[in-house]
């Protein structure tokens, strides 16, 4: 029987019922991503057509299969694997799940679907972005084209009592969407609402290369505000009840992201050397995050996020 818990601090592989807000039929597990507790979430909606939302980097996809078994969902019954975008920390496990769950369609933003069918370019780009963190990854399994369902803004994935309404949210990456679950008054945010660090009750930026766009990120926050959910279902660190202050939660991320871009822009003007800018922010990474996801991960994330901002500044100024 799955544990019931609203706390996102879970042991890797442990299945927790999400009771945040008024959620029902929804379960969460920590996939053990980057060997960091809570960092990589996968969700399971237990409905007439059961669904996995987000699939992790693939390295520990067996944990998702074991979670299905624990919830008495046969692999043949799984109807959908839905990913918010094709970055491998969200979609890297989708091919493995498709292989083991023969009746599941893989729902992926249409503009990125071909890169999951033939992931060579995606792998190369990921290796370039994450550097030596690649050791935590596994080569993704290509997904047969006839198993992929391309989704766009306005589409709906019907699961039974629940449906996933698709909203485009391309600020973090051009191929990102978010999923609204009206029955749970919740939104699966992907990376559109930042990374919530529950033990520190703070939100931190995520601005990776090569498609980060500040103005579009802020527009994506407006999209979430218009949906007006009570629960944000983050892929990193799990569910968060925002029913009493959604506006404050989104405003906090708007402030964090805007100040982050301004800081990188100012340091670039000061140092006039992009690699020096990257090194500066990696060396001065927020030490409070060392406890949340290790010193190595915090410094690597800072470096990656700086590169994303630098690319955005270049494209903005062209």
Q: Express each pLDDT in 206-255 by its tens digit.
A: 999 999 999 999 999 999 999 999 999 999 999 999 998 999 999 999 99
pLDDT digits (tens, 9 = 90+) for 58-116: 999 999 999 999 999 999 999 999 999 999 999 999 999 999 999 999 999 999 999 99
Give the number of other CB atoms < 10 A from CB of residue 303. 20
Picking from 204, 303, 207, 238, the residue whose alpha carbon sits closest to that of residue 33 is 238
Give the number of other CB atoms < 10 A from CB of residue 117. 16
Percentages (nearest 5) of helix, strand, coil residues in the chain: 45, 20, 35
Query: Does residue 75 contact residue 57 with C-beta atoms inside 8 Å?
Result: no
What does the pLDDT read at residue 243?
A: 93
What does the pLDDT read at residue 86?
A: 97
User: For the chain, what percent of residues have pLDDT higher than 70?
Assistant: 97
DSSP 137: -
Averaged pLDDT of the chain = 94
What does the pLDDT read at residue 4?
A: 45
Q: Residue 7: pLDDT band by 50, 70, 90 thresholds? A: very low
- Assigned token pair, 67: 């979670």
Burial bucket for residue 188 (CB in 10 Å: 0-12, 13-18, 19+)? buried
Exposure string over 18-30, b if 16+ CB within 10 A, otherwise e: bebbebebbbbbb
- Given CATH 3.90.1150.10, say whether it is the number of domain 3-256: no
Q: Residue 6: pLDDT band by 50, 70, 90 thresholds? A: very low
- Assigned token pair, 103: 């009746």
Average pLDDT over residues 166-191: 98
The pLDDT of residue 8 is above 90: no
Tokens 């630098």: give the residue. Answer: 310
What kind and span of H or E run contains 53? strand 51-53
How far apart CA 222 and CA 225 sit, in angstroms, is 5
Picking from 221, 227, 220, the residue whose alpha carbon sits closest to that of residue 187 is 227
How far apart CA 152 and CA 176 sit, in angstroms, is 10
- What does the domain layout of the chain look like in residue ranges? 3-256
Give backbone dihedrals phi and psi of 50, rounded to 5 degrees, phi first: -60, 150
Query: Does residue 158 contact residue 165 with C-beta atoms inside 8 Å?
Result: no
How far apart CA 224 and CA 196 sit, in angstroms, is 15
Query: Does residue 175 contact residue 109 with C-beta atoms inside 8 Å?
Result: yes
The pLDDT of residue 1 is above 50: no
What does the pLDDT read at residue 10?
A: 53
Cα–Cα separations (whole angstroms), residue 38 to 68, 198, 278, 281, 292: 19, 10, 26, 24, 9
Give backbone dihedrals phi and psi of 57, rounded to 5 degrees, phi first: -85, 0
């Amino acid at each position: 029987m799955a544990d019931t818990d609203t706390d996102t601090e879970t042991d890797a592989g442990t299945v927790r019922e999400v009771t945040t807000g008024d959620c029902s039929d929804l379960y969460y597990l920590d996939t053990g991503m980057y060997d960091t507790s809570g960092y990589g979430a996968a969700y399971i909606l237990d409905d007439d057509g059961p669904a996995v939302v987000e699939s992790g980097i693939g390295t520990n996809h067996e944990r998702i299969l074991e979670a299905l078994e624990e919830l008495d969902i046969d692999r043949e019954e799984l109807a959908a694997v839905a990913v918010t975008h094709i970055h491998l920390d969200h979609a890297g496990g989708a091919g493995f799940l498709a292989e083991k769950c023969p009746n599941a369609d893989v729902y992926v933003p249409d503009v990125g679907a071909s890169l999951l069918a033939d992931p060579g370019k995606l792998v190369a780009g990921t290796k370039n972005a994450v550097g030596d963190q690649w050791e935590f990854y596994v080569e993704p399994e290509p997904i047969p084209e006839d198993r992929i369902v391309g989704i766009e803004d306005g589409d709906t994935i019907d699961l039974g009592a629940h449906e996933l309404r698709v909203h485009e949210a391309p600020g973090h990456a051009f191929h990102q969407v978010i999923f609204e679950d009206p029955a749970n008054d919740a939104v699966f945010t992907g990376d559109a609402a930042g990374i919530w660090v529950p033990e520190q009750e703070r939100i931190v930026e995520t601005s990776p290369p090569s498609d980060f766009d500040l103005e579009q990120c802020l527009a994506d926050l407006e999209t979430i505000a218009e949906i007006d959910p009570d629960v944000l279902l983050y892929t990193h660190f799990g569910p968060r009840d925002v029913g009493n202050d959604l506006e404050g939660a989104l405003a906090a991320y708007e402030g964090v992201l805007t100040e982050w871009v301004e800081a990188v822009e100012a340091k670039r003007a000061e140092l006039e050397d992009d690699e020096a800018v990257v090194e500066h922010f990696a060396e001065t990474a927020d030490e409070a995050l060392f406890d949340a996801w290790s010193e190595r991960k915090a410094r690597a994330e800072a470096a990656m996020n700086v590169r994303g901002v630098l690319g955005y500044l270049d494209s903005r100024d062209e």
